[in-house]
Amino acid sequence: ADSPGTTSMRTVGITSWSSVAGETYVAASFSPDSKMVAFASTRSGNSEICIKQTTGGDPIQITRNGFYNQFPVWSPNGQELTYFSRRGENNGIWRVAFTGGQETQITSGIGSSGRPIRWCADGKIYFQDAFDLFSIDEKSGERKRLTMFEEQSVRTRAYAVAPDGASFAVSIRESTGWSLKAQSFGQSELKTIAASKDQIDRIAFDPAGSAIYYSAGLDGVTQIFRVGEKPDAPVQI
């Protein structure tokens, strides 16, 4: 089938919420069945994780710890969320049921820029910390560093992990602009699949893991593009 283009896709509003003071940045993620969206809100005075049905209704606050919580990511079964939490000197990744209740710390001692990216069916939670990608086992807590970009003085921006956890994509700032690269775990070669003179950000795999969506500037306006695993020409969405 042909790749979707600007003439074959349309924008549909799913849900919205009004930002409040302090919400200069909001990250959201959809549940596996796309019926709910999770996001962080400072409506209560602190940055807490909330969920909302995509068909309507009011947001429901599910964390109530009074700390800075951000970057929620859904579990594969849609029953839990993992998120970054900054609690005094302790930066960590936590988990909580989507209905709220007890919050459990998965790991601690990560940087202030820690960000969960994907929770895979094999129990691995992938997260970004500074310029590198890590994984942690949800049960054992075993942490693994998967990239070594910081030591190589490579400045990465955003990561995405494929739904099956077999590969990842990353945007990298280079001397001539920005590139979008992909790599299978266990292999050492990064493949360049797209390039832009403007910043490449907000990367996401499609559900099948065969294509990647990303945002980049075009004529001064941020647009969304789609590119396959092979280095084909990106399609502006």
Q: pLDDT tens for residues 112-135? A: 889 999 999 999 999 999 999 999
Q: Are 93 and 105 in contact (CB under 8 A)?
A: yes
pLDDT at residue 165 above 50? yes
Predicted pLDDT of residue 1: 38
pLDDT tens by residue, 178-219: 999 999 998 888 999 999 999 999 999 999 999 999 999 888
> pLDDT band for position 23 (50/70/90)?
low
> pLDDT band for position 161 (50/70/90)?
very high
Whole-number percent of the chain with pLDDT over 90: 73
Predicted pLDDT of residue 45: 85
The reply to whether the predicted model has a pTM over 0.95 is no
Predicted pLDDT of residue 8: 61
Predicted pLDDT of residue 15: 63
Q: Phi first, then psi: give them for residue 150, nearest 5 degrees.
A: -60, -40
pLDDT tens by residue, 65-103: 999 999 999 999 999 999 999 998 899 999 999 999 999
Which strands form 104-107's sheet, in the order they lie side by side?
68-74, 80-87, 90-97, 104-107
Q: What is the DSSP string of 1-48?
A: -PPP-TTT------------TT-S---EEE-TTSSEEEEEE-TTSS-E
Q: Are 28 and 43 in contact (CB under 8 A)?
A: no
Structure tokens belonging to residue 196: 């832009």
pLDDT tens by residue, 2-15: 444 445 667 777 66
Q: Are 216 and 199 in contact (CB under 8 A)?
A: yes
Predicted pLDDT of residue 75: 98
Instruction: Identify the residue with better confidence: 184 or 45.
Output: 184
Average pLDDT over residues 136-160: 94
pLDDT at residue 231 above 50? yes
